[in-house]
A and B are shown apart, each in its own frame.
Chain A
Amino acid sequence: MAVSTTSSVTLSANDRLVAGVFALLLGAFLVFGAGLANSAVLHDTAHDTRHSYGFPCH
């Protein structure tokens, strides 16, 4: 069973795509909000994080 302890084995191909696309969209939304969104409040809150991650900032 050691071989089958992988993340895709227990999902059907269709479910895998649904989960993957959803994860990509939600992940992109979160990263955009924390790292790139052009809002002063978001910028000031995430300021040190944006610099630390090397996001293009101000």
Chain B
Amino acid sequence: MIVRYLLAALVAGLFSGVLMTAAQEARVVPLILHAEEFEGGDEAAPAAEGTTPGTGTEGAAQTQDHSSLGAVILDVASALSPVSVAYAHEGEDHEEGGIMFGMSRFSGTLLANLVTGAGFGLLLAGFSLVSGHPITVANGALWGAAGWLAVHMLPAIGLPPELPGFPAADLGDRQVWWIATVILSAAGLYLLFLKQNIVAKVIGIVLIAAPQVYGAPQPGDISSNVPAVLGAEFAVAALATTLFFWIVLGLSLGFANEKIAKAA
């Protein structure tokens, strides 16, 4: 029986991941690609000033200003290829990257969405099983909305969804704050929504507010070459598509759970 509940979570998560990929391709990914045309101008500009002034006008063609010959060849190859690769980003000493198994950028995104969907499906199912509050078709959308609040909306107050090329604080600091905020928000929402005790509800609100009061790590310099309009459009698009993902996930998990309960 245990395995069947895990399978239900996996199926719901994979299904939601596929739909999420379609939603992303419609709006979010085009904005990411657009932003990448501006990305890296910050780092490229100082180097360009000393050598060839005036190259700024060709910024779009030079967004990936790598120094080594191999990287240049890769840039040329990627410019000629119909399949664009997800770049390792400017100004970081990356180990050798590249997409797994030589997949296209879209396949990589689809695979990542499937894995992420399965992961969030399992987390949602696990939360429901441990807390003893079943997810059904009737309450699935609310479960999904709560998951979206905990994982996306509340962390986005401190760390809004970023486009490539946006200024940001140290990655490790942001990840720690993000993980802590997701856990505290989930615990807070649980106390707020699923406990009747007024003290528990108050503690829930305190838990939700705590990471926001503490504050997310912010970058020292917030200048960016990426137009602000793109950032605003992207933040809304990212939050809207993730809300769609979570509601689909909650509903499909409720549906799968009820199928299992009937079959048992």
Interface residues in chain A, defined as those with a beta carbon under 8 Å from any beta carbon in chain B: 4-11, 13, 15-36, 38-58
Q: Bound complex: CA of A38 vs CA of B168, how far in Å?
A: 16
Q: Would you list the 3 A-B pairs with minimal beta carbon distance, nearest first?
A: A27-B122, A20-B129, A30-B119
- Is there contact, CB below 8 Å, between B126 and A27? yes
Q: Which residues of the partner chain B approach A8 to less than 8 Å between Cβ atoms?
A: 129, 132-134
- Is there contact, CB below 8 Å, between A31 and B5? no
Q: Of residues 124 to 141 in B, which have CB atoms within 8 Å of A's CB atoms?
A: 124-136
Q: Bound complex: CA of A21 vs CA of B2, how far in Å?
A: 11
Which single residue of chain B is at the shortest CB-CB distance from A47? Answer: B86
Q: Bound complex: CA of A24 vs CA of B168, how far in Å?
A: 29
Q: Write the nearest CB–CB distance from B158 to chain A, whole angstroms.
A: 10
- Is there contact, CB below 8 Å, between B86 and A30? no
Given known A-B contacts A17-B129, A33-B115, A49-B116, A5 and B136 have beta carbons under 8 A apart: yes
- Is there contact, CB below 8 Å, between A4 and B261? yes
- Is there contact, CB below 8 Å, between A28 and B119? yes
Given known A-B contacts A7-B128, A45-B86, A45-B112, A15 and B1 have beta carbons under 8 A apart: yes
Which of A6, A39, A41, A51 is the one whose CB lies under 8 Å from B136? A6
- Is there contact, CB below 8 Å, between B238 and A43? no
Q: Bound complex: CA of A54 vs CA of B28, how far in Å?
A: 11
Q: Of residues 108 to 154 in B, which have CB atoms within 8 Å of A's CB atoms?
A: 108-109, 111-113, 115-116, 118-136, 152
Given known A-B contacts A40-B96, A43-B88, A45-B86, A23 and B261 have beta carbons under 8 A apart: no
Given known A-B contacts A8-B134, A20-B126, A54-B242, A49 and B109 have beta carbons under 8 A apart: yes
- Is there contact, CB below 8 Å, between B129 and A19? yes
Given known A-B contacts A10-B260, A35-B116, A43-B97, A51 and B87 have beta carbons under 8 A apart: no
- Is there contact, CB below 8 Å, between B94 and A9? no
Q: Of residues 72 to 119 in B, which have CB atoms within 8 Å of A's CB atoms?
A: 85-89, 92, 94-100, 103, 105, 108-109, 111-113, 115-116, 118-119
Q: Which residues of the partner chain A approach B87 to less than 8 Å between Cβ atoms?
A: 44, 47
Which of A9, A15, A24, A47 is the one whose CB lies under 8 Å from B122? A24
Given known A-B contacts A23-B6, A27-B121, A48-B32, A56 and B260 have beta carbons under 8 A apart: no
Q: Write the nearest CB–CB distance from A31 to chain B, whole angstroms.
A: 4
Which single residue of chain B is at the shortest CB-CB distance from A40? Answer: B97
Q: Which residues of the partner chain B approach A25 to less than 8 Å between Cβ atoms?
A: 126
A–B complex contacts, Cβ < 8 Å, 20 sampled: A7-B129, A7-B135, A7-B261, A10-B260, A18-B2, A22-B6, A23-B122, A23-B129, A24-B122, A31-B119, A34-B112, A36-B179, A40-B95, A44-B85, A45-B99, A48-B105, A51-B161, A54-B152, A57-B164, A58-B92
